[in-house]
Structure 1
Amino acid sequence: MSGFDLLVVGDANPDVLVAGAPVVPPYGQAETLVASGTLALGGSAAIVAHGAARLGVSTALAAVVGRDAAGDFVLDALSSAGVDVGAVVRHPELATALTVCLGGPGGDRAILTAAGCLAEFEPGELPRARHIHAASYFLQPRLAARLPELFRGAAATCSLDTNHDPAGRWRLAAGLLEVCDYVLPNESEALALTGAATVDEALAAFAAAGVGTPVVKRGRHGAVARRAAETHTARLTPLEPVDTVGAGDSFDAGFLAAVLNGEDLDRALAVGCACGALSTQAVGGTAAQPSWEQAVAYASRPGISPG
């Protein structure tokens, strides 16, 4: 193969999803019964790669996992979806990262992550691709330091979804934004990254920093993008969610698949919104990710209004 359509670079780990957890679990060796528990593929990069492959995009993932059962689980889940895992390395000593999501009242959740080998991830020689997407920037300092160079030297378009910064600093490497064709934060991340008070101000700040097309995900309110000083939006009548874990990553997969398939920006936003919404119909980030046909059908419903 001469190359892939999409190379995703970033985190991959199992998620343990617990529904019905108390706001503060009692300690003292007390056992608390909860509504359900699910083991699923997690990590923003892994969920994006899985979703893109499900949409028919030729996809590879570059990541690090341990030489343990958790790493086996991650690789099996990705390979079964059609993701090429040849660029996933196995750390000889450190464990695969693991995330526990405690689902509480009103759809809120607490996310506990044992970073394991994530901080040691430094990509080596990467496969060629038409587009490179990086995720979970703040969990992988070695990747973060190299990302401007990696993007600048790539014969590909590039995108970044930083995800949350556990340290709360929200600082990006110098020169990174100016080599990003797309940034794909959610609303709270966009405001934190730019220091802006509104989404419009955040979009303008990203554009001023050199991002070709900044995109902000707004959950139930759809998504908004800016290109050449013009604002593009997609809104939809959202589905009643079963679980929202990974919905933003499924948006990324749908948006990038549409871009790679030659769709215009409005259509790409609508397909991204459709993928994010449909992914909420089962527990975990990947169980309900749609096919391209399912995503396009939902994006064409009257409830979605690009403009």
Structure 2
Amino acid sequence: MATLKDIRTRIKGVKSTQQVTKAMKMVAAAKLRRAQDAAIQARPYAGKLKEMLGSLSTKVDTTLNPMLSARENVENLLVILVTSDRGLCGAFNTNIIKLAQRVMREEYGNLEKQGRIKILCAGSKGYDFLRKRDYNVVKAYPGVFQALHFDVAKEIAEYAADMYVRGEVDKVVVVYNEFKSVLSPNLRSEVLLPIMSERAGVDTAAGGEYIYEPSPASIVDVLVPKHINTQVWRMMLESNAAEQAARMGAMDSATENAKELLRQLNISYNRARQAAITTELTEIVAGADALQGG
């Protein structure tokens, strides 16, 4: 049975932990506001670029740009896995890593068996997990979310585009957390390249008609890299916002759990204290009776 000193030590430790989790919750809430605003502001621009490319693809020969042409046979795949750099955010990283494994196993099982899947990790947690399990991680960006910049997203996009254009991979898939709400992130697996595969079934006429100068083909050559850079940047912003939301929720749960644990420890402390007082009283009474009997 725990002594009074042991229980007091535990109460002190839980109170210290509770203060830390409460502070981390407040920090995550402040970061979430900024991250959420950034993610929401990036959506309209990314959506309009996609709409314009959808309209342009009906007016140009898509074979002129390799990133607009889907390849008949996908023999090599690049998976871009976006995770966080730090933990203490609940099941945020676990869920997205499981989704990436499921996508590779169920949708591209033949390529996985043949070792034809390459992985690019944005974020330390995904990289730490996959490199210990012999996955083919060809590029990693650990610590990218410590100071998130567009230049890093552009570098990732250019690396993936270069692999696709040179024929090293025939498809690029991004697995990331899309920010939906504080309580429920949205796990996503999207095809980044080829661009045409993302627009399958989209009614491009619904986006309106445009006049293109100097020509649709030259505009496509400019918009395609902008589109890829913007999509990767948007996905990273979405993941950052979802991470802060997950961390805020995890720290809130930890704070509430610490509160409940303190309540139980206080009950245990009071019971142990009462038992000690009762024992002392019993010993005093027994000693007094012994003196009177003597």
Structure number having the greater helix percentage: 2
TM surpasses 0.5: no
Which TM class, normalised by the smaller chain length? under 0.3
Q: Which has the higher contact order (CA 8 A, sep 6+)?
A: 2
Structure number having the greater strand percentage: 1
- TM-score by length of structure 2 reads 0.27
- TM-score by length of structure 1 reads 0.26
